[in-house]
A and B are shown apart, each in its own frame.
Chain A
Amino acid sequence: MLTPEEVKHVADLARIDLTPEEIEKYQQQLSRILDYVGKLATAQTDGVPTADGGTINLENVWREDEQSTANNQQPTIDLIKMAPETSGGQVKVKNVF
């Protein structure tokens, strides 16, 4: 069983504020789910490689690092428009420090 402190810690890492009621609810639910997925510990995996990177035969795909679109500002303008707060055609961000 996860402790309330562990739930709070993982929520902090995930950048989600939780109310005390939510901490209690997720404590129960996450513990049950982790118990279930934890049964994987019984699977024999000695020497088994991890299935990294997709699931079909992979091959490298190379291309030249060239600009592929014309000098069109519209896509940039459209993308910036979707940000909650903008200033002078740029996305406005709070002070990081």
Chain B
Amino acid sequence: MIKELHQKLINKEVSAVKLATEYLARAKSSDLNAFITITEKEALEQAKTIDEKIAQGEEVPLLAGIPASIKDLIMTAGVRTTAASKILENYVAPYDATVIKKLKENGLVMVGKNNCDEFAMGSSTENSAFGPTKNPYDKTRVAGGTSGGSAAAVASDLSVYSIGTDTGGSVRQPAAFCGVVGLKPTYGAVSRYGLIADASSLDQVGVVAKTVEDAEIVFNIIKGRDEMDATSVEVRSRELGAENSNSKFQTPGLKGLKIGIPQEYFSNGIDQEIGEAIANFVKRAQGLGAEIVEISLPHTEHALAVYYIIQPAEASANLARYDGVRYGQKSEIRNQKSEISLIDLYKKTRAEFLGPEVKRRIMLGTYALSAGYYDAYYKKAQQVRTLIREDFHKAFNEVDLIFAPVAPHPAWKIGEKINDPLSMYLEDVFTVPINIAGLPALSLPVGKTSAGLPIGAQIIGPWGGETEIFQAGKQLENF
């Protein structure tokens, strides 16, 4: 879709301003609540610059003039960046994240900032202080999360692509719920400078797009080592797996490709229609010449517990900065005559401006890291993390890619799980192992339930295996 729009732009069949105007109009009239802020002025200015370049016969990058949206967890200079939290409700980002800088060099036209779960904690975008995002296929249902606004926007043509983030499935699961493509790259493949931190050993910037090709185009622009993010790396193809396998299978078709099916991902109370859709997807790969191998990832059963220790622990440390002193909101109690202590200012500010899920995770993480509990929780989780990672390492010595469902169930009703946090956490069972291991994975639409809700499949690659994921994804997406 990006390539087609690019052709139209350089052939002057459509102007960037006209394109931006159309997308802005849809974004403004949409009732999905996919945006926290719509950046009309910025988008039109950016589009005008592109049109001038095209008019002068200048060559413009592939992404130039393509209307995009950005999850509101990523800093955009001069534009309000809220992390979907009351505590940052009026926070204006003082600088651009590296991904934004790169996109701007490529002619970014930003329609707006997408809704998400507060500080990227949740699985449904219901934890946003700005209200839930609705699913475009059924407005009584969730769009998934945490990048729910990104997925709903791309699915409803409010933006062509969106930059999201994925800590435990936050790009892949909403992409699956909204019937679009979502990429979670290898840990470190994309700079996180300017990303508001959730859990630092898990967070990764990703892409929501309409097609695998579009996701690949955007990924190739945003990836790469960045001096401003010490954890970023120049991902080489197949970092830790076998030798570079680009020549291993030939397209068209998937001949020579070995696909692993982890038995543990098909046993745990998975929705029947999802199971069937994934089975058909696997058959299709087989029909294209791929070899299907059953594999085992024996520590899968522990992945969710590992995640819900490591994520809250790291988040509790990262969110200590929201203290009413450095940025964001502060409790007005401070302005009253009676003196309160600094510590009371912290407590009251955080009580007043952080949402219930964020408080829950901060307390969970604080508990897991507190004296007397550290060994039983955090240390234990980091040990099991090694085992989960080794499971994948062993598997990728045997297979090129792993196929699995994205989520055990399709999009649920808004409000259905909000009072039962554990039941919502359980929905992350198939996405969190990938973040724990730091692997790349793509969520691809593979069908719909009888109720018309989209179903997504995961194509999981070895460290640095984005190239193979894209190659296979492009062969499998149209059916």
15 A–B contact pairs at CB < 8 A?
A: A12-B347, A15-B320, A16-B359, A22-B359, A26-B363, A30-B363, A36-B304, A36-B308, A37-B305, A45-B383, A51-B383, A51-B389, A55-B201, A82-B327, A84-B329
> A33-48 vs B: 1/0 string, CB under 8 Å?
1101111110101001
Q: Give the size range of A's interface with the partner.
A: 35 or more
Q: A16-B351, A45-B384, A54-B188 are in contact. Are A61 and B422 (CB under 8 A)?
A: no
Q: Does B233 contact A (CB under 8 A)?
A: yes
Report B-chain residues with C-beta under 8 Å of the C-beta of A75. 94-95
What chain B residues lie within 8 Å of A54 (beta carbons)? 187-188, 201, 231, 438
In the complex, are the beta carbons of A14 and B425 less than 8 A apart?
no
Task: Report A1-27 residues with CB < 8 Å from chain B CB.
Answer: 7, 10-18, 22, 26
Residues 336-364 (chain B) with a chain A CB within 8 angstroms: 341-348, 350-351, 354, 359-360, 362-364
Bound complex: CA A61 to CA B231 (Å): 10
The answer to whether A15 and B346 touch across the interface, beta carbons within 8 angstroms, is yes
Q: Is the CB of A17 within 8 A of B351?
A: yes
Q: Mark B166-192, 1 if CB is under 8 A from A, else 0.
A: 000000000000000000001110000
Using Cβ atoms and an 8 Å threshold, which residues of chain A touch B422?
A: 29, 32-33, 36
| Residue ranges of A at the interface with B (Cβ–Cβ < 8 Å) | 7, 10-18, 22, 26, 29-30, 32-34, 36-41, 43, 45, 48-57, 61, 63, 75, 78-79, 81-85, 91, 93-96
Cβ distance B226 to chain A, nearest Cβ, rounded Å = 11
B343→A15 contact, CB < 8 A: yes
CA–CA, A91 and B48, complex, Å: 39
Question: How distant is the Cα of A12 from the Cα of B343 in the complex, in angstroms?
Answer: 9
Contact of A10 among B187, B201, B366 (CB under 8 A): B366
Q: Does any Cβ of A come within 8 Å of B328's Cβ?
A: yes
Chain B interface SS verdict (over half) = helix
Contact B380 A84 (CB under 8 A): no
Q: How far is the CA of A81 from the CA of B63 in the complex (A)?
A: 33
**B221-251 residues at the A interface, CB under 8 angstroms:** 227, 230-231, 233, 235, 239-240
- Complex CA–CA separation, A30 to B364 (angstroms): 7
Q: Produce 1/0 per residue, B407-437, CB < 8 A to A.
A: 0000000000000011001000000000011
- Is B360's CB under 8 angstroms from A30's CB? yes
B341 touches A94 (CB 8 A): yes
| CB-contact partner of B305 in A18, A39, A57, under 8 A | A39
A15-B350, A95-B342 are contacts. A50–B382 as well, Cβ < 8 Å? yes
